[in-house]
Amino acid sequence: MFELKEECGVFGLYSQRAADLARLAYYGLFALQHRGQESCGISVNDHGVFTTHTGNGLVNDVFTADILESLGKGNISVGHVRYGTRGTIGLVNAQPVVVNHIKGRMAVAYNGRIVNACELREKFELAGSIFHSSGDAEAIAHVVTSARIRTSSIESAVGEAMDELKGAYSMILMSPAKLVACRDPYGIRPLCIGKTAEGIWVVSSESCGIDAVGGTFVRDVEPGEIVVFDSDGMRSIRTHCGSTKSALCVFEYIYFARPDSVIDGCAVQAARIKAGELLAETYPVEADVVVGVPDSGLDAAVGYSRKSGIAYGVGFIKNKYIGRTFIAPEQATREGKVRIKLNPVSVTVSGKRVVLIDDSIVRGTTSARIVRLLREAGAKEVHMRVTAPPFINACYYGTDISETDALIARDHKLEDIAGIIGADSLGYLKRNQVGIIAEGCKLKGFCTACFDGYYPTEKPERIFVNKYDKKINEGRS
């Protein structure tokens, strides 16, 4: 199945003295749960002694009160929530990844995708290294520990590793004495810093994670920056800053991030409202009500309503108790999965001309089911508006779309897509409007490769395929 999925989420804490960091990490990961619902993990460092727990499922299920108690107190902690791209699903790929090496111990948690991961794995495997997982985090750990042998500090090793790692990464590393955070030179994935009233430093994929632990937002990690937290406080290494033009993934504003987060100076909610306003200006239509597809379509629907003057209504109720661990029905009953997750509010749409706002159309199958739900609930007309341009290219930076064959917009015109999904009309955000939605963003460049094919990095030479999941008669010897 091809569909947009949330990114992973990383969370880190540094305290000058032992504290209940496991519980704080739990709160932070709970706030970042939308970024990954397959597996999660927390590692707590008590002055050099690491205690780690990972599990498949949601944060609230994996980390019971007993598990949190068993992690104990510490002065540094790293946490992670994850979704698995095809071929990398399973507990073995859960993070943080903890490794022991000649100069000590290290835990790694990252968000993004390394485009040269295949080449890096091959290099280390040919040199005798053994890999236990199929995700990129272990390859990153090999690169950093290899550099650590040659360098005098963990931050120097991270700096060397950044010269070798290509792609998107917002990363947190924990050594026995330090917490190190870094962001790739393009700033493709977000990362920010906060501090609690007790003086605990916080690093989070999104500012909502800082809010969850009662912290105050300090600033974003800049593209290419390495930030070190240790007994001397916080310091910055900017060797890689400014080495290239920034390319923040614009889908963070459109879909991935939580609406109450602020990323690189731009409020996510404001960006979505702006996208809705632009759609109203570009694709006006006579209608009775504007509804959004939960959750990322709701704020955009408000924006469309405000600009158009068409009333806003709650068109769907989302089942809040379904995560990605929900067992999907068989192929023949996938319609039931949509009905379980989303139920139309007939009193809002019955007999009405409806403007439907959503964040994207990938294959078109989900959009077609949602449009059908509205019609079955009595909608007279359904005019779909999408807060992203047509998705026509593969993404190599963390979403689960590395092939283009199933992308409906790649081979179909606008009016054809409208017919396929059953909408009376269809309008996408225009490519030249993408940067406009992020008013106030401190970064001036965005990654829009999925819309226009202009990738900020080199495209991967090979896409990772986990050959160890194949039977011998399927091509593995």
How far, in Å, CA of 443 to CA of 245, rounded? Answer: 9
Q: Apex CA 277: angle with CA 275 and CA 281, to 5°?
A: 115
Burial 254-291 (b: 16+ CB within 10 A, else e): bbbbbbebbbbebbbbbbbbbbbbbbbeebbbebbbbb
- State phi, psi for 328 to the nearest 5 degrees: -75, 145
Pair 277, 304: CB distance under 8 Å = yes
Q: Apex CA 296: angle with CA 412 and CA 417, to 5°?
A: 15
Local structure of 62: helix, strand or coil: helix
Strands (E), 184-245: 192-195, 201-204, 216-220, 226-230, 233-237
Local structure of 435: helix, strand or coil: helix
Pair 165, 114: CB distance under 8 Å = yes
Residues whose CB falls within 8 Å of the CB of residue 104, separated by 6 or more in sequence, listed in order: 48, 175, 176
Q: How many CB atoms lie within 10 A of CB 439?
A: 12
| H or E element that contains 43 | strand 39-46
* DSSP assignment of 121-186: HHHHHHTT-----SSHHHHHHHHHHHHHHHSSSHHHHHHHHHHH--EEEEEEEE-SS-EEEEE-TT
Which one is catalytic: 8, 40, 182, 441?
8
8 labelled catalytic: yes
How far, in Å, CA of 364 to CA of 371, rounded? Answer: 11
* Angle, in degrees to the nearest 10, between helices 154-164 and 136-150: 120
Nearest to 355 by CA among 323, 326, 329, 387: 387
How far, in Å, CA of 249 to CA of 445, rounded? Answer: 9
- Return the active site residues: 8
